[in-house]
């Protein structure tokens, strides 16, 4: 049987809509993370805003924006921080342009439906803001060179661009994992290698797209550096193998 390789960026996305099981109604943890790192966001924006000679239009890209209330929460936080900094520096607040990026299957329509209320709120604050959707993978070029002042990404970079090559070799996996009840030592390093390759692509692309003095705030899952991968299935494997040998 011929194995079909599916392109991840064409099929991967969070569940859209506003139903009970949608991402919009199940994104409390990412929201808590965003609120927890808000002081870091403020510090980062203040450094960038002061280093870019106070642009007339401050351009921000949210990579892996998904859909739901968290998407525009970031925009609100950025606008508030930059406007407060402008008042402190006694300069005219800039206009804002936000580029919302996610893969092609993302529910951008849900975001657009919430924009009228968002724009009305900004109008009362005398703030001008433009919202644009930029579909595509962030493991490559998304914007022209020297065009973005600030990149933000939260809970997105742990998604890989593809399944690690090693995992496509079913014969090798079957041989190396013989006698095991779960994926063992060869699997975690293959994911680590794929992440390293992807992250290099990500940083290389952002380096070209940032204006001089621009910045990024990236929040993603990780683990302590260790060569040991301990899990409950690993304990079960030892016990079961021991039981088999005693039969």
177-202 pLDDT per residue, tens? 555 555 556 677 788 889 999 999 99
d(CA 214, CA 216): 7
Residue 211 lies in a domain: yes
Residue 3 lies in a domain: no
Residue 1 lies in a domain: no
How many Cα atoms within 13 Å fall on the side-chain side of residue 6? 5
Residue 171 lies in a domain: yes
Dig out the tokens for 134 from the structure: 């930029």
Number of domains the chain is built from? 1
In the structure, what pLDDT confidence band is assigned to residue 2 with cuts at 50, 70 and 90?
very low
Percent of the chain with pLDDT over 70: 69
Nearest to 196 by CA among 186, 184, 204: 204
Collapsing DSSP states into helix, strand and coil, what is residue 191?
Answer: helix
For the segment 114-141, what is each residue's pLDDT rounded down to a tens digit?
899 999 999 999 999 999 999 999 999 9
Question: CA gyration radius for the chain?
Answer: 22
**CATH number of the domain enclosing 44:** 3.40.50.150
Q: What is the mean pLDDT of the chain?
A: 80
Residue 12 lies in a domain: yes
**The predicted structure's pLDDT at residue 105:** 84
Residue 2 lies in a domain: no
Other Cβ atoms less than 10 A from the Cβ of 188: the count is 15
Question: Do residues 234 and 182 touch, judged by C-beta distance below 8 A?
Answer: yes
Dig out the tokens for 195 from the structure: 């992440």
131 beta partners: 98
Range of the domain at 234: 8-246
């Amino acid at each position: 049987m011929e194995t079909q390789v599916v392109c991840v960026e064409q099929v991967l996305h969070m569940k859209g809509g506003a139903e009970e099981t949608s991402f919009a109604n199940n994104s409390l943890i990412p929201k808590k993370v965003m609120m927890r790192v808000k002081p870091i966001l403020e510090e980062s924006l203040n450094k960038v805003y002061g280093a870019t000679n106070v642009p007339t239009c401050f351009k921000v890209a949210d990579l892996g924006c998904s859909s739901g209330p968290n998407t525009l929460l970031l925009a609100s936080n950025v606008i508030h921080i930059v406007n407060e900094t402008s008042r402190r520096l006694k300069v005219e607040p800039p206009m804002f342009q936000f580029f919302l990026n996610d893969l092609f299957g993302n529910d951008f329509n849900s975001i657009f439906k919430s924009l009228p209320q968002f724009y009305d709120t900004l109008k009362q604050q005398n703030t001008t803001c433009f919202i644009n959707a930029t579909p595509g993978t962030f493991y490559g070029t998304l914007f022209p060179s020297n065009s973005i002042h600030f990149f933000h990404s939260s809970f997105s970079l742990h998604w890989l661009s593809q399944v690690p090559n090693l995992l496509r070799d079913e014969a090798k996996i079957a041989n190396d994992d013989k006698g095991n009840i779960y994926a063992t030592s060869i699997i975690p390093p293959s994911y680590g290698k794929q992440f390293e390759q992807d992250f290099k692509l990500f940083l290389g692309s952002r380096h070209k797209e940032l204006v001089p003095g621009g910045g990024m705030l990236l929040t993603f899952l990780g683990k302590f550096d260790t060569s040991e991968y301990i899990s409950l299935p690993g304990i079960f494997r030892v016990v079961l193998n021991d039981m088999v040998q005693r039969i």
